[in-house]
Amino acid sequence: MKRYALLLVLLSPYVQGQMLDANDPLRRVILDQMRANIGYPTDIQFVVKQLSVSGSQAYFCATAKTNDGSGSAKINGKTVVYDRELQQSAEGFWTTVSNFDSYVDSPAQAQCHSTIQDEPAASGCQNVGLYDAERKPLLDAVRRSYQGAIAQPRFVVSHLCTTGKMAYFCGRLEGEESQDRQGMHYYDAIMARNAKAEWQALMVETKTVEKCNFSGSASAITEQKLLEAVNQPLAHKIDDSIKVEMLTQFLQFQQAVKKADMAYLKAHIVFPLENVSDTFLAGTPDEHQQSITPALFDQYAQQIRDGLKEIALLGVNLTKKQVTDFRVNSLTPLEQARKYFPAEEDGRFYYNDGTKKVPVEGTCDSVGSGDFEDGTLAVFIGTDSNLLIPGLSEVCEGGMRVEFTLQQGTLMLTRIDFFG
């Protein structure tokens, strides 16, 4: 690692925003350090869309693929676009200053958010680099909040910054996920110093989808925003009367989806709607946007409504105060009447047509479900393996989780997460 630091000194300075070509030694240095920073093994290669350097700043945007030719490296079924602004430390190492990572269905959809900025912002939360003395105390505070079975939990950091009095962390816990990187555990934590000037976690959220509560530039994460997040009241327990009210209004939301009542839908969504543009606005000039604003909703209302249309398929039982599941069988009645047998290849089946074996592929059904969780009504809309001829899990198991909460007596769509 020491030779990297020396090499960087010899190569500097670079002019503003100079692109690094494939033969530039600094390019290989940054890629190796990014691979280590993200936690990828050496057999994972970056497919670089942009890599430019200006003095001690750099802009890095890339997807990743496996070296064995099996395709893009995926997390929870999605291709990750590693989209980051980097800063060179005094020791010569490159660490993330601002994280704009996003998720797409395929590498062809990857979009870089920006190019290198002239100067890093000096206000707000300041990035804590890999070799910053404050890094270990902050990560130790996150580790103390961990209650799982791993003796010495380790984290892959997406965000780690401090305002001096408070700090913010978002990252992935290593060790509990399977080899195919499914079922990962992500942590989102806000910390502050206690009376002994030691860091302690004030609020920790765990999730299975890497969706940081604060994303983008670290400088935009102000101390006031962190305080407001901590001071938000805890989710209240939902009694039966509130469940009935939420479900009654949910029925109205479903009707608005069915009838394409755009005015109603717009009035019952909390904007900006974060990190869904690449899905809801796919194929449009605005698919790269970080969030859907009211103006973007007006422009693409029909397309956004189509992305939500399967919500209307969920059943509602007011007597039992429940959302009832749905499953849309992808097989025709004729196909359902056949008897199928598993073939040697995973995800393939066959049926007998007289003396002839007819091969077919496993397929996916559209499914939906819903339940009350921590003060919210959470519904899942997605796909699952067909019960008769199941499709491969990595293809079929995925979808979106949509959260609804009561705000001043009105049911509002407040958040959407994608996974699978």
**Separation in Å, CA 371 to CA 144, 234, 238, 378:** 31, 19, 12, 6
How far, CA to CA in Å, does 178 sit from each of 75, 76, 174, 285? Answer: 11, 11, 10, 36
Say if CB 99 and CB 158 are below 8 A apart: yes
Do 145 and 206 contact (CB within 8 A), yes or no?
no
Confidence of residue 41 (pLDDT cuts 50, 70, 90): low
360 and 350 in contact (C-beta within 8 Å)? yes
Q: Is this structure's pTM higher than 0.75?
A: no
pLDDT digits (tens, 9 = 90+) for 204-236: 887 766 677 876 666 678 888 888 777 664 445
Q: Please report, rounded to a whole number, the percentage of residues in the chain having pLDDT higher than 90.
A: 33
**Phi and psi torsions of 380, nearest 5°:** -110, 130
> What's the mean pLDDT in 350-370?
94
- Positive or negative, the CA dihedral 104, 77, 391, 334 is negative
Question: How much is the pLDDT for 16?
Answer: 37
- Torsion from C-alpha of 102, 108, 113, 115, nearest 10 degrees: 130
**pLDDT for residue 20:** 66
Model confidence pLDDT, tens digit, residues 186-195: 788 999 887 6
Beta strands in 329-390 (DSSP E): 341-342, 348-353, 356-361, 364-373, 376-385
Instruction: Classify residue 59 as exposed, middle or buried by CB count within 10 Å of its CB (0-12, 13-18, 19+).
Output: buried
- The larger pLDDT score, comparing residue 152 to residue 327, is at 327
What's the rounded Cα separation, in Å, for the pair 401 and 207?
Answer: 12
Give the H/E segment covering residue 144: helix 135-145
Looking at residue 251, what DSSP letter applies? Answer: H
